[in-house]
Amino acid sequence: MAHTTRPLILVTNDDGIYAPGIAALVEVARTFGDVVVVAPDKPQSGMGHAITINSTLRVDKVPAHTGAEAWSCSGTPVDCVKMAVNKLLPRTPDLCVSGINHGANHSINIIYSGTMSAAIEAAIEGIPAIGFSLLNHSIEADFSAAKVAAAAVIAQVLKNGLPNGVCLNVNIPKLHIDEIKGLKVCRQGRASWIEDLDERTDPSGRTYYWLTGHFESFEPDSDDTDVWALHHGYVSVVPAQFDLTAHSALGGLSEMNSVSLSTIEQS
């Protein structure tokens, strides 16, 4: 096969370019195409869709991954995608994969996730994109089952493409591959974090806080959610979009169109 017919695959993450999870994903991606890695130079978990607009960005070519050109970037995961697409890559990539995240990004977690924000940014730029997360926070997590799942999803996306404006949020349960029942296409479960701000006192006597909390699913019994799928041994595959319009709410709000601003007193 001629070199130019191989897909060009951008790999990024939010745990940083030296995380074991991105090394696992590079290994998988290399079996499908030519890989360029552009990933944060430090952990960027919880960065959501942040971009760097009030400070500068740096990129450095680093020998971080065997068989793949790799760039370390000082910015957020979304910055990495913008830097890759607009500066570092020779052409628009055929696919962007993000992860494999050390930890879950199902349900409401997608909105806080740097891993998924990178995939969503790629989708905004018209690139088929997939974020992968393993339900295991450990730096020593076993990515072998996650790699099989990633290969399966990447193969499907390279074969069939994705609808315009849609990327995939793939979460893999912390199970051996033989225990995983398969892929399950599903929706984002309704859930939330119940915060518990851990209050402490520093050596100078000033108060500070750690943001912590526990996860609460609002619909643990609904069998069409990612939370349910993962709990029952499936790899969850949620199509995600960046159009945040609540289309179903447009009609009910139409009364606002008739509010006259000229009758309101200026304060």
Q: Which residues, numbered 213-232, are part of the site for a second copy (CB under 8 A)?
A: none
Q: How many other C-beta atoms are found inside a 10 Å radius of the C-beta of residue 93?
A: 25
The only residue of 138, 176, 192, 220 in contact with a second copy, by rule CB under 8 A? 192
Residue 13 CA: distances (Å) to CA of 1, 130, 185, 266:
29, 11, 22, 48
What mask, x for binding a second copy by CB under 8 A, covers residues 81 to 100? -xx-xxx-------------
Residue number with CB closer to a second copy (17 or 85): 85
Angstrom distance (rounded) from CA 26 to CA 147: 10
Instruction: Name the one residue in this structure whose structure tokens are 């079996």.
Output: 31
Angstrom distance (rounded) from CA 207 to CA 227: 36
Q: How many other C-beta atoms are found inside a 10 Å radius of the C-beta of residue 237?
A: 20
Q: Looking only at residues 117 through 176 of this chain, which bind a second copy when binding is defined by CB under 8 A?
A: 117, 120, 124-125, 144, 147-149, 151-153, 155-156, 160, 162-163, 165-166, 169
The only residue of 9, 28, 39, 227 in contact with a second copy, by rule CB under 8 A? 28
- Note whether 262 binds a second copy by CB under 8 A: yes
- Note whether 183 binds a second copy by CB under 8 A: yes
Size of site (CB under 8 A) for a second copy: 102
The only residue of 8, 51, 62, 158 in contact with a second copy, by rule CB under 8 A? 51
For 172, the enclosing helix (H) or strand (E) is strand 166-172
Q: Supply the minimum distance, in Å, between the C-beta of residue 195 and a second copy.
A: 4
Of 5-13, 89-97, 127-135, 256-264, the segment contacting a second copy by CB under 8 A is 256-264
- Note whether 207 binds a second copy by CB under 8 A: yes
- Note whether 201 binds a second copy by CB under 8 A: no
Backbone φ, ψ for residue 184 (5° rounding): -135, 110
Q: How far is CA 82 from the centre of its chain?
A: 15
Q: Supply the minimum distance, in Å, between the C-beta of residue 228 and a second copy.
A: 14
- 67: left (phi > 0), else alpha (psi -120 to 50), else beta? left
The only residue of 7, 8, 18, 50 in contact with a second copy, by rule CB under 8 A? 50
User: Residue 167 has which token pair?
Assistant: 């990327």
